[in-house]
């Protein structure tokens, strides 16, 4: 069987259709909450749309929506924050791809922002996506009674994006190039660089759905395991897949001697680790029963995806 067939068999068709529907829902939200390309200054709005609509998996917003729904939240109330986390994720990719950082020419199968719009515009487009995300979080969901919830979500996401989270992970990643890799270092980079925003996305969904502290703690165990599994699989795919299938320049991690899981333990052990983490995530949310079906499927999907 070809890889495509294995993937198709592994992924339940109903879940596949659900993922597509979720993506469309998020994309509609993103079109609503991003400044229109028709508005001046056109170039930067075009650059923002270009990177946001470059075919991402929408993992973070879908996790936010699914976590929120699992504890009884309504999709419409969750959507603005779901869009904000995708804008934040996109900003981090745009800046990460810059020549001064990872110097990537390809992202999701298309030329990176700075290759299309130039470096200056890519820097500003990233800045604008981050700024817009916070603006949306400050405005939605509307209603004076929701003001404390909006602020809590803002606080969580800002902390996850800062030097104690995503940016700190990017710094550690930069500084680790060429250094000997230790488990502690790899784990610390994963936890902050991608883990923090994934965890904050799940937490934001829970908080917006008025989850209890106990529910939030359970969802956080899930998010921590899924986030790490996702990053490990990303690093595995960087090694085993071609640039075409991957949609970005393959093998760059190895070239740049980045501190990654497969660089330490090899591809097979890394796949096993991801599998373990997914099982851990799934058992953490067992207490939610059938309501957590989507979260379980997402965890499985993270482990089985090929790109």
The torsion angle over the Cα atoms of residues 246, 83, 112 and 187, rounded to 10 degrees, is: -60
Q: Does 38 bind its own copies (CB under 8 A)?
A: no
| Touching its own copies, residues 64-93 (CB under 8 A) | 91
Q: Applying CB under 8 A, which part among 77-85, 115-123, 224-232, 272-280 lies near its own copies?
A: 115-123
Residues in a beta bridge with 106: 111
46 versus 293: smaller Cβ distance to its own copies: 46
Query: Given the DSSP bridges, would you call strands 110-111 and 106-107 parallel, antiparallel or unpaired?
Result: antiparallel
Residues in a beta bridge with 107: 110
Q: Does 139 bind its own copies (CB under 8 A)?
A: yes
Q: Does 121 bind its own copies (CB under 8 A)?
A: yes
Q: Least distance (Å) from its own copies to the CB of residue 129?
A: 10
30 versus 285: smaller Cβ distance to its own copies: 30
Q: Does 147 bind its own copies (CB under 8 A)?
A: yes
Confirm if 135 and 93 have CB atoms less than 8 A apart: no
132 versus 224: smaller Cβ distance to its own copies: 132
| Touching its own copies, residues 167-186 (CB under 8 A) | 167-168, 170-172, 174-175
Between the alpha carbon of residue 197 and those of residues 61, 63, 142, 202, the distances in Å are 11, 11, 23, 9
Residue selected from 101, 217, 272, 287 as contacting its own copies according to rule CB under 8 A:
101
Site residues, its own copies (CB under 8 A): 35, 39-41, 43-45, 48, 91, 95, 98, 100-101, 118-121, 123-124, 126-128, 130-132, 134-135, 138-139, 144, 147-148, 150-151, 154-155, 158-159, 161-164, 167-168, 170-172, 174-175
């Amino acid at each position: 069987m070809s890889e495509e067939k294995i993937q198709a068999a592994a992924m339940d068709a109903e879940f596949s259709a659900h993922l597509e529907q979720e993506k469309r829902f998020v994309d509609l939200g993103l079109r609503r909450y991003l400044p229109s390309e028709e508005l001046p200054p056109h170039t930067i709005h075009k650059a923002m749309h270009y990177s946001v609509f470059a075919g991402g998996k929408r993992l973070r917003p879908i996790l936010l929506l699914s976590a929120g729904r699992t504890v009884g939240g309504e999709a419409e109330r969750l959507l603005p924050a779901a869009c904000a986390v995708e804008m934040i994720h996109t900003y981090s990719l745009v800046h990460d791809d810059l020549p001064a950082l990872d110097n990537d020419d390809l992202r999701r199968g298309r030329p990176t922002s700075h290759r299309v719009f130039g470096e200056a515009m890519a820097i500003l487009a990233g800045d604008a996506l981050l700024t817009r995300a916070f603006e949306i979080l400050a405005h939605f969901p509307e209603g004076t009674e929701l003001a404390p919830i909006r602020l809590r979500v803002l606080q969580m996401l800002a902390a996850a994006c800062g030097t104690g989270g995503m940016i700190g992970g990017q710094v550690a990643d930069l500084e680790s190039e060429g250094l000997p890799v230790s488990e502690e270092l790899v784990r610390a980079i994963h936890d902050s660089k991608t883990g923090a925003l994934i965890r904050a996305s799940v937490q934001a969904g829970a908080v917006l759905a008025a989850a209890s502290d106990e529910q939030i703690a359970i969802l956080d165990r899930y998010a921590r395991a899924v986030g790490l599994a996702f990053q490990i699989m990303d690093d595995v795919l960087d090694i085993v897949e071609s640039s075409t299938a991957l949609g970005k320049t393959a093998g760059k991690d190895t070239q740049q001697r980045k501190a990654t899981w497969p660089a330490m333990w090899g591809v097979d052990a890394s796949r096993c680790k991801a599998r373990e983490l997914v099982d851990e995530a799934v058992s953490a949310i067992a207490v939610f029963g059938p309501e957590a079906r989507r979260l379980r499927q997402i965890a499985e999907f993270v482990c089985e995806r090929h790109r």
